[in-house]
Structure 1
Amino acid sequence: MAPFVRANVYSHMPAQCQAGAGFPTCRTLQLGADRRRPAAAFSAVRRRSLTALRAVCASAVQDGRLDAQVAVVLGTQWGDEGKGKLVDILAQQYDIVARAQGGANAGHTIYDSSGKKYALHLVPSGILNENAQCVVGNGVVIHLPSLFEELATLKEQGASTEGRLIVSDRAHLLFDLHKEIDGLREAELAGKQIGTTKRGIGPAYASKATRNGIRVGDLRDLDAFAAKLRVLALDGQKRFQGFQYDVEADIERYKDIARQVLPFVGDTVELVNDAWEAGKRILVEGANATMLDLDFGTYPFVTSSNPSIGGVASGLGLAPTKFQAIIGVAKAYTTRVGAGPYPTEIFGDLGEDIRRIGAEYGTTTGRPRRVGWLDIPALKYATRINGLTHINLTKLDVLSDLATIRLGVGYKLNGAAVRGMPSEIAELEKVEVVYEDIPGWETDISKVRTWDDLPENARKYVARIEELIGVKIEWIGVGPGRDALVVQP
């Protein structure tokens, strides 16, 4: 007997898309009296339904406005995709912009309408919208001295944050001792380093997981805070030879820090849920990216949090049933910082040229990024995990000089096609990439602002990516500025 499956073809459709299309708002489409259908028949139903889904969800973006009360922007590759720019643009339409995970290892570069550049690390990229409240959620690890430096820099640049930034009292604190441990851990690996930013992110999350971490709310009782920090420092001293950290000096420093930060510390779980119930619009800014996810990325060459969709729910306390648009950001090629497998990596002069044209150097560290062709298996993997409803393809202009663009459309291992994404690093390092060669457009597109004005081959490149991943590319970046964006009709 043929296996039966339940038809959940609309399960990831935003609610407003369902209603707008006249689809049932229930999560499961009823097919027959017993709500079952043979799997072979279901595949055809799913194909037709997903085609309808893409068309309907595309209509959710009209006249530049995203029709979603809660929208999430996530990285789909190895980070540095340009999430900050889209968040900055969409933030003009939202009441709250929130970070849910990661720390100062995230670097988001944005530009205001006059072209002034802002480099952000902990502050959400919606900070340039003076009407938006910016939230640093409980899933973020925060080095408060770095946060104050960032706020001071923004003030010098003329961007006021007063009264608009709130930090979760449940967020964990990252101390200089975590940075010290980060460097000592990398040194221990002796040639097999992960390639961390050495900003203490991993050790801070480790403290959280081993339950000796210290949270922002602990600063309300400085005596208890001091006792906890002494225990944390002792743990590092016992574990690492050469560990150097003056805990008493840091306790004194944090007395002043506590006075500065507590006025904008609060219960962000209550805040975002109250806002949602009041009909306010919430935009969530992801940090890092899916291929660096602690569970789904190229482990162990990953970050220490969940930059995929699950990290949004756990890092903000906002239920996933409230997410209406989940936007994946992907470069028109790929980049990666640090060690780890990278199947489509480009070496030699071509790699150097793309790195130079794309200014592929880390916002946080300044390190040169590795570059590669667009990896469709990785992008499809990220699409599935996150339930993406839209794609923002960035830096298409960087490829403008190329006569031929390679698109990695599949993997082979020992001559056989690979399904999904290999979980083992040893396998991923050995895969052979199956490429399609696509004609380039060989003309500058940085001034293009409409879909019809893009060269035909550029439109064909975008269309081919859409065809392979099954999600509409809504926004196309053609330059660093806020206005350098093409919206596909």
Structure 2
Amino acid sequence: MATKIIIGAQWGDEGKGKIVDHLSKDADFVVRYQGGANAGHTIKFDGKEIVLHLIPSGIFNGSAKCIIGNGVVIDPNALVDEIDEVEAFGSDLKDRFYVSGSAHVILPYHKILDQVREKSRGKDAIGTTGRGIGPAYVSKVARVGIRMADLTNGAALEKMVRSNVTEINKALTHVHKEPEIDVDEILNGLNPVIERLKPYICNTTNMLHQAIASGKNIILEGAQGSLLDIDHGTYPYVTSSSPTAGGACVGSGIPPTSITNAIGITKAYSTRVGNGPYPTELFDGTGEKLRKNGAEFGATTGRPRRCGWLDLVALKYAVNLNGLDQLALTKLDVLDDFDEIQVCTHYEINGKKTDVYPVETGALDHVKPIYRTFGGWSSSCRDAKSYDQLPNEVKTYISFIEEYTGSRCSIISTGPGRTETLIR
């Protein structure tokens, strides 16, 4: 029995979808444990491509049961659309797909609040996707949230929605000078999706406890990345949940004592979407080349990603924060035609050199990255069928990452396809 956590070790968009898809062929359960439809996990197989936002990335490879855990916030309309899309790809979700009744619901007023608040921040905007994720978590913490199980209780659901909308309309009209929300429109829009989702809603925590007792193999799939964690990321430019290892237990109901290992996903360089500090960001032709080679545009929003060299100070922080005993290094092929490759090994802050990642608010705004330069390999990593076949320069680069972080690169992704994956 193994329970593995798959964690983004950067700012998200590291290629978690491909790695979960690859590993899921040997899994009995794949569980999404946090975030919402702001995450996009891209899967490519058999010449096809699909972007999953809520349904776990294990749905297409093997026969694992796929669960949306209690830590996720769910837009019911987005989930129904995704169910239709997955079924159109030929996957039967019957007896394979389950949704925690304890997961909180994103309603239209959450999206409105998200967009209004971002607008009011002006130049200090966080850079959210505007999909209502943050306000849904606010409702959850304020104990006025609506959970998936509540969707099956008509009278109670209507009472809760009407109460919430009454309070939100006060803020919209008096504070933000925005028009009121029509509560009847929200309720009427929910009716058809509730009927579609009812068969999937259940007690997934109990299901997972039984799976552990039966010795099943479980994968816990995170969204976003460690550096966007609400507690440990680049606050306030973070997501509203915990993508880290601790969040996996909270968002699934699986106890920490059942976790066997944690695998961190990192690109061979780095990217970030949205606002916030990013020490190794490149604003020159090199950054543009990384963006072009890596097709670095958001899977959910289409926004161009900010690109830069690999930041080992930040990566080692993620390794220590999550207890990552393995790394999956993705998009190595993006670096194929670079003459030189740099990695950040230290920060200079106020004239002092350090390899400690600063967590104080604003500290990263004053960082000057210190780089080490490696020679490029000027050949295609995608031609390698095993780790030994990779160019020597690649293996030198990987060895340095392992030595610096203390975590082994056990999975090497040399392209987007399933077969372009090297296992050590």
Given the two structures, how large is their TM-score scaled by the length of structure 2? 0.97
Deviation per CA, 1:215-271, whole angstroms, max 9, x where unpaired?
A: 011122111100101111122211123044221122122223222211111001100
**Partners of 2:345 and 2:355 within 8 A in 1:** no
C-alpha separation in 2, matches of 1:158 and 1:243:
43
1:420, CA displacement in angstroms? 2.3
Write the mapping of 1:60-75 to structure 2, written as runs, cut at 5 A.
69-75=2-8
- Identity level (%): 43
Letter of the 1:76 partner, please give it.
A
Deviates more, 1:387-396 or 1:446-455: 446-455
SS across alignment from 1:409: strand
Write the mapping of 1:412-431 to structure 2, written as runs, cut at 5 A.
412-431=348-367
Q: Give yes or no for the alignment of 1:139 onto 2:75.
A: no
SS across alignment from 1:360: coil
Q: 1:231 aligns with which of 154, 163, 168?
A: 163
**Partners of 1:181 and 1:243 within 8 A in 2:** no
SS across alignment from 1:432: strand
**Partners of 2:309 and 2:342 within 8 A in 1:** yes
Q: Give yes or no for the alignment of 1:300 onto 2:236.
A: yes
1:419, CA displacement in angstroms? 4.9
Deviation per CA, 1:420-475, whole angstroms, max 9, x where unpaired?
A: 22123432111111110011101111121211110000000000000100010001
**Partners of 1:178 and 1:204 within 8 A in 2:** yes
Q: Give yes or no for the alignment of 1:94 onto 2:27.
A: yes
The residue aligned with 1:388 is: 324
Q: 2:38 aligns with which of 77, 91, 105?
A: 105
Q: 1:191 aligns with which of 90, 98, 123?
A: 123
Deviation per CA, 1:124-151, whole angstroms, max 9, x where unpaired?
A: 0000035111000000000010001011
The residue aligned with 1:331 is: 267
Q: Structure 2 vs 1, CA of residues 438 and 451 (structure 1 numbering), >3 Å: closer, same or farther?
A: same
**Partners of 2:150 and 2:156 within 8 A in 1:** yes
Report the structure number with the largest CA radius of gyration. Answer: 1
1:163, CA displacement in angstroms? 2.4
1:350, CA displacement in angstroms? 1.3
**Partners of 2:35 and 2:72 within 8 A in 1:** yes
C-alpha separation in 1, matches of 2:77 and 2:143:
23
**Partners of 1:222 and 1:255 within 8 A in 2:** no
C-alpha separation in 2, matches of 1:77 and 1:450:
26
Deviation per CA, 1:12-40, whole angstroms, max 9, x where unpaired?
A: xxxxxxxxxxxxxxxxxxxxxxxxxxxxx
The residue aligned with 2:380 is: 444
The residue aligned with 1:345 is: 281
**Partners of 1:341 and 1:425 within 8 A in 2:** no
The residue aligned with 1:49 is: none
Write the mapping of 1:29-428 to structure 2, written as runs, cut at 5 A.
69-112=2-45, 114-240=46-172, 241-428=177-364
1:159, CA displacement in angstroms? 2.5
C-alpha separation in 2, matches of 1:244 and 1:374:
46
1:154, CA displacement in angstroms? 1.5
C-alpha separation in 2, matches of 1:445 and 1:153:
33
Letter of the 1:160 partner, please give it.
D
SS across alignment from 2:327: strand
Deviation per CA, 1:162-183, whole angstroms, max 9, x where unpaired?
A: 2211000000000111111100
Letter of the 1:72 partner, please give it.
I
The residue aligned with 1:48 is: none
SS across alignment from 2:404: helix
**Partners of 2:26 and 2:62 within 8 A in 1:** no
Aligned residues: CA RMSD: 1.1
SS across alignment from 2:362: helix
1:307, CA displacement in angstroms? 0.3
C-alpha separation in 1, matches of 2:165 and 2:61:
39
Given the two structures, how large is their TM-score scaled by the length of structure 1? 0.84
* 4+ aligned runs moved over 3 Å, structure 1: none
Aligned length: 420
**Partners of 1:91 and 1:132 within 8 A in 2:** yes
Which ranges in structure 1 are unaligned for 5 or more consecutive residues? Answer: 1-67
